[in-house]
Structure 1
Amino acid sequence: MEENIMSQRKIIITVAQTGAFHGKEANPNIPLTPKEIADSAYNCYNAGASIIHIHARDKNGVSTNDSKVYSEIGSGIKAKCNVIIQYSTAPANIPGTNAEDGMKLLYDSDLFKPEMCSLDCSLIGTSWGDRTFVYEWYRPFLIKYAKMMKEMGIKPEIECFNPETIEDVFNILEPEGVLDNPVSLSFVMGMDRISQGAISFSEENLDFMIKKLPKDRFVNFSSICIGAKNHVPGTVMTILKGGGARVGMEDNIFYAPGRLLKSNAEMVERVVRIIHELGMEVATPDEAREVLNLKK
């Protein structure tokens, strides 16, 4: 019976191709321009990805929240394939930005609208280069923008950097009626090296985060396991414990110790092989839409 259940599971694969921090200085194969990101997304889709998580860069390769750049990326991907597009709403990694800057793209009536957007739900302080800053994702802010996403027909991807945040999601956000079922949630693990208030990755911590989820309902969860040491073990553990898979160069730039990833699709191909070896299947984008109850 248990083998039957495992074989029926279809794993949703999300790819975070580009983040807000490192760029081509870390891995020359990371896509930064809208065309590079769209081409990479198409290759990931062909490899088995259902969701593409998007951060944008300006013409100089610098992190940006410019809605025009997001729209160029989103429309470029949609012209190539049927993958689910998920925009990041984290503030750009540049001096002077704040939480509201990350949400500016939602106010652009000409935005190429995604099916999903990230909603980061933890208060963390991050040190990067010569800057130290606090992400001001306060409860009233989260309620406001979860409501706005709901009204726009955009499903939030809840990102939790620590266990307390999971309690906030289900004790503060959900009672406000701003989250549709099923909640889609990611555990962010391994940011502790640069972010105060973020949990490290370990199987014990992963188990604890999963146990914080409500027992009486289905939550679609995955783990964002940062760094080469954590990435593959964390992804496989999460799949085995009932979650989805997230891979990509935002989280990890290495295929193996000392060997940089040649592409984001290379990591998708590997996780697809692992999923099949575990006796499970990979969800298509339309199957993922059905699981996540995305708005048509």
Structure 2
Amino acid sequence: MAISMSDVDRFEASRPRLEAIAYRMLGSASEAEDAVQETFLRWQAADTGCIEVPEAWLTKVLTNLCLTQLASARARRETYVGQWLPEPLLAGDPMLGPADTAEQRESVSYAVLTLLERLSPNERAVYVLREAFAYSHREIAEILDITEAASQQIFHRAKRHVADGRARSEVDRAAARRIVEEFLAAATSGRTEPLVRLLTEDAVAIGDGGGKVPARAKAFEGARAVATFMRGLFKPSKAKRALVGGTAEVFAATANGEPALVVVVDGRVIGVMCLEITAEGIAAFRNQVNPDKLERATRLWAAADHGEPLLRVF
């Protein structure tokens, strides 16, 4: 059936919120866009005159599409080459969604998105809707066709799982920027000890190449192992230059609200390394180098003012 312009406008007004929900649910910007587009097609085919609360209807349809997608994604990730990490979003990307509260900011952090992979689809849906978008348990129950009591139980369980996996404490942005700069200086010094001092004892380094870019299948664990890896990663060589296609520029940036290093070659983002920084030091490096997950970052990077690089390598 034909859709009116007012119905199109109503949907477009909801699109940013729907995309932000879908991204948190799926950890992929491209999959989030597809889910929102499918929601629009369902909206287009519906008798919108009979829909009392369009926002609730759209959220329900989108959430259930994401739940279906998550079920199939789990099967796909069993055959994924190497480690799977979410698609990073650079500062200013509208898909990051609301960031007014600490809970909203944390819900889209790279660290939490990675932890959400441990949750069941229902746990992930309840956590996202409650923590990031402040839906009531009554509203969540209606969206997921469960009871309010079940929604409360699922939320507490999901929040406990996320909290158990989180690093110990946060530091302010100014301190985080200083630590990023110290890390780069240490990584390019050619020595391991300066790096070890910046890391927590149980630091980890994870890379996602998706089978398209070399990345170790198993995470590096422990300060010394991570430091040794990072020292080698930032050591220039002809082979690395050939691999990336030229000189790489490294910028300090923010991705998913966390300090990050963005590696760019000829305007193309070839890597986004998110640093999880605590009061005790750097607890984790999560490095996204799968080109399929950097297309959106490259588009946003081209349109942004990012200043001068901190380093030119390779």
**TM-score, structure 1 normalization:** 0.27
* Greater helix content: 2
**TM-score, structure 2 normalization:** 0.26
> Which has the higher relative contact order, 1 or 2, with Cα contacts under 8 A spaced 6 or more apart?
1
